[in-house]
Every structure is written in C-alpha cells, then in structure tokens.
Amino acid sequence: MFLRGLTSLVAPVQRSTIMSAQIPTKFDQFFKKVDELKPEFIDVVAQAVAIPAVSSDESLRPQVVKKAHFLVSQLESLGFTDIQLKPLGLQPPPVTDPKLELPPVVLSRYGSDPKKKTVLVYGHYDVQPASIEDGWDTEPFTLVVDEEKGQLRGRGATDDTGPLTGWLHVVRAHREAGIEFPVNLITCFEGMEESGSLGLEELIAKEATEYFKDVDAVCISDNYWLGTRKPVLTYGLRGCNYYQTIVEGPKADLHSGVFGGIIAEPMIDLVKVMGTLVDSDGKIQVKGIDEMVAPVTSKEHEIYEEIDFSLDELNNASGSNTALYTKKEDILMHRWRYPSLSLHGVEGAFSAQGAKTVIPAKVMGKFSIRTVPDMDSEKLTKLVIDHCDKEFAKLNSPNKCKTELIHDGAYWASDPHNAQFSAASKATELVYGVKPDLTREGGSIPITVTFQDELKTSVLLLPMGRGDDGAHSINEKLDISNFINGIKLMGAYLHYYAESKEN
C-alpha cells in the first residue's frame, strides 16, 4: 500500500518498472521489448520531426507529402499490408496555387483475422508552423533528446508525431518479442489536421463501407492529460458554433472630426449588440440556451469529484488570478460540461498602433459558442440570430445589422464505461499504477464525431502527452517517460480490448 501511494505521488511514470514482478508474462515481455527498443523508437521520431510537414504553408506541401511517404516506408518495414495513399484532390480556395494537391491519407492494415476485433487508429502527420525566430531554444525541426530533463523537444513531438509513431512501435515491439498481435489494426493518418482536416470527412464517409467496413472501435491519441501528474481517458468534447455580427452604415470609412456625432456609427451599434451576449461572470444571455443543455446526473457528478485538479493549476495555466470559480467541480464543469460564449474580435475596425480617428463603415464582430449535449446547432443558431436582431432593433439605428453562422462543429460524448474505456482503464492501471481520471475537453476535435457517426462505433481518446507539453507553442515537448509508457499503454489497451466480450 505504501509503495502504491509513493509511486502515484512521486513517480507514477515508473510504476511499470517498479511492479514488473506483478505484470502478466505477455505484458512483461512486451514492456521489456519496448524499453529495449527505446533508442530506436526515439530515432524514428527524430527522423519524422526532421520533415517540416507544415500543412498551412503551401511552399512546404512537398514536405508534408514526403512525411506521408516516410510513414509508408515504416509501415512496409513492419509488415503492414494494403498500404494506400488516398488522394483527396485539390485544396479549395483560398490558395495561392489553384492546382495545390491536398496531402494523402495513409491507410494500412496489420492483420486480417476474422476471429479478432479490428481497431482503427487515427493520427495526423502534419504540424504547426515553427521557426527558431519564434522564440524556440533550438531548431524546431531537429529533435532534442534531453535525458537530463527527460524530454523530447521539437515540433510535432507531442502533436501528433510522437503519439502517431507510438502505434507503429507497438507493432514492432510485438513482432520482435514474438507475441501474437491481439487485434487487426487499421491506420488512418492524415496530413491536414492542423489546417481543418480538409477532405477527410468525405473520405471517412466513402470508406465506411469499404476500407473501414469491419472496424469495431476507433482510438485517437491526439490530446493530453489534464495536468502533469495523472493519466486520463477522454470521453467528451465540446462542439463549436462560430458566428459573426455585421453592422454597416456609410459607404466608406469617415473622419470622426467631420462626421462624429451626426451619423449613426456602426462600431457603436456593434459594441452594444455584442455586449448583450454574455455578462462578466460568463453567463450566456441568449434566452433558450440553458434549456437545451442536458442535466448533470449524480453519477456524472461523481466523476468530477474524483478528478485530480485544483484552482492553482487553472491560475498557473492562465498566468493570472482571474478564475470565475474556485471549486474544482465548478471549474471543470464550466470548462467541459456547460456551454460558453466568447467574444473574439472585430474585423473592419482600426486595430494598429497609433491614434487613427476613423469611423469604420462596416464592422464584423466575431464570437463563438462552445456547445454540449443536447444542444442542437440549427436551433442554437436561430436563438442567436433572433437575439441579435432584437437587441439591434432596440437601438432604432438606421444602420443595417446581420448575424450569421460561419461554421459549426458538433460536440461529442461517449460512454466512459464501455468496453473500450474499460480496457484502457485496466491498461492505465497496469502501466501507471493508478486509475485514470475520466475527462472531457473544452475544445473540439470534429473528426471524432465523424468517425463515430459514419462507422457506427465507439471512439476512445487515449492521450500520451501531458498538459504542459506546449502543443502549437514554442519548445513543444514530450516527456520520454510518457512516450515509452504511452507505447506500453497503447499495447496493453489493445490486449484488454481484444479480451472484452463486447465491442
């Protein structure tokens, strides 16, 4: 009992090594092989990170494609079959090159035993832009293996190159340890996730009855622990409806010294309308939204009570003491479980340095609502538009006002106690020695819903990295312990899921 507590609090990432004597033989062999191959696994990550696969930069599109071919070579060396580079066609505007091809999706299979379950693993091989001029300590596309700090640093280390290659390492460790692979594995690796996953939804819909027809479960490792101490399993994501309110009046921008006080200014109207959407306590003021939110059950509330999180962690993450809530449960529920409305900016207004005295002729206010079960996007949009129209009408302004939806992405929620999550929970306890926290995320991964709806199956979010990895930021890192234990976790999850009696 003392050992369990000490391991959990001081070094949970070493649990699998300390308690190896209690690990079943097949896992022991697999875990030992993962440890043995650690340098070679890190070398694969280094080779992949060295390819600047920035999907948002048209000039680097050949590099994104190069990384896809790198993955193909890795898959071939591991014995994957039916490897296909699925074309997605031309990238839609806006683009500089109208003939720019979208990078291919890498599909492959490992095993085709009809007696085994089939698991599809998703990952993305493209990355965010990065340059040492951004403030990186080292070249972002040269992986730094910092044994002293126990970190791998480089663009894509945690998002998502490290986790993606982790699935390949699971296969290699099984092969070299002589252990039968527990499931049939299908890969779906895309190269446009950081640029909106263009073309992927259509591919999934098309392949649902073709390449993906026998898939029993989908696993995604493209998110992170809530904090830095305790592993998690993620069973929910908020959706996102993004809106703009447009107010226009004069035909052109005007001088405030000439026209100020004698015309109706669009910016003033916009500020007044946007000011009615949400109050300073974060409470959404659009009537009818609260009634759409599914009530929190007592069983669900218990999940939040058990999660390892504190107000200090929120303050550290935001770099301030501006939290609206002090209780852990209130913070997490308003981060994951309840909708939120955020004001993002104004297009068309003066925003540069200086003191320009312009009256903008047309301004567009941007705001979004993070959606949760059971909010209906179409109904929500009607409520938002009606609210803005009514508030603008109260102004009796001669200007014109229009509110519109720019895009929406559905929320996602799964059963955290189904076969997939139960298997992943057992695997987490085996590797880390603690039960994982069951978490949601405040952000969106729209492709999760697409997999669930099109393949009619469950999706598990199984994170490898920690909450402080700095994905999308400078000096992005992945703790080496998380990388190695993450590979062990992936493999153990596949074994436990294979043994479950339900899909």
Name the residues annotated as catalytic.
126, 193
Looking at the DSSP bridge assignments, the partners of residue 248 are: 362, 400
Q: What are the counts of helices (DSSP H) followed by strands (DSSP E) for the chain?
A: 16, 18
Secondary structure letter of residue 2 according to DSSP: H
Bridge pairing between strands 144-146 and 458-461: unpaired
Torsional class of 196: left (φ above 0), alpha (ψ -120 to 50), beta (otherwise) = left
Residue indicated by tokens 């390892």:
308
What Å distances lie between residue 357 and 194, 208, 257, 258, 360, CA to CA?
Answer: 38, 57, 8, 10, 10
Structure tokens at 215: 């898939």
What does the DSSP assignment read for 238-300?
-EEEEEEEEEE-SSS-EEHHHHTTTS--HHHHHHHHHTTTB-TTS-B-STTSGGGSPPPPHHH
Q: Are 75 and 44 in contact (CB under 8 A)?
A: no
Q: How far is CA 184 from the centre of its chain?
A: 25
Nearest by Cα to 171 from 84, 110, 108: 110
Strands 437-441 and 118-124, bridge-based pairing: unpaired
Of 87, 77, 84, 12, nearest in space to 40 by CA: 77
Task: Return the HEC string of 180-233.
Answer: CCCCEEEEEEECCHHHCCCCHHHHHHHHCCCCCCCCCEEEECCCECCCCCCCEE
Radius of gyration of the chain (CA): 25
Preceding omega of 468 cis (within 30 degrees of 0):
no
3 state DSSP class of 368: strand
317/444 Cα distance (integer angstroms): 19
Q: Are 243 and 404 in contact (CB under 8 A)?
A: yes
Q: Give yes or no for a contact between 432 and 15, defined as CB atoms under 8 angstroms apart.
A: yes
Instruction: Look at the block and give the residue holding tokens 């090159």.
Output: 97
Pairing of strands 217-220, 458-461: parallel
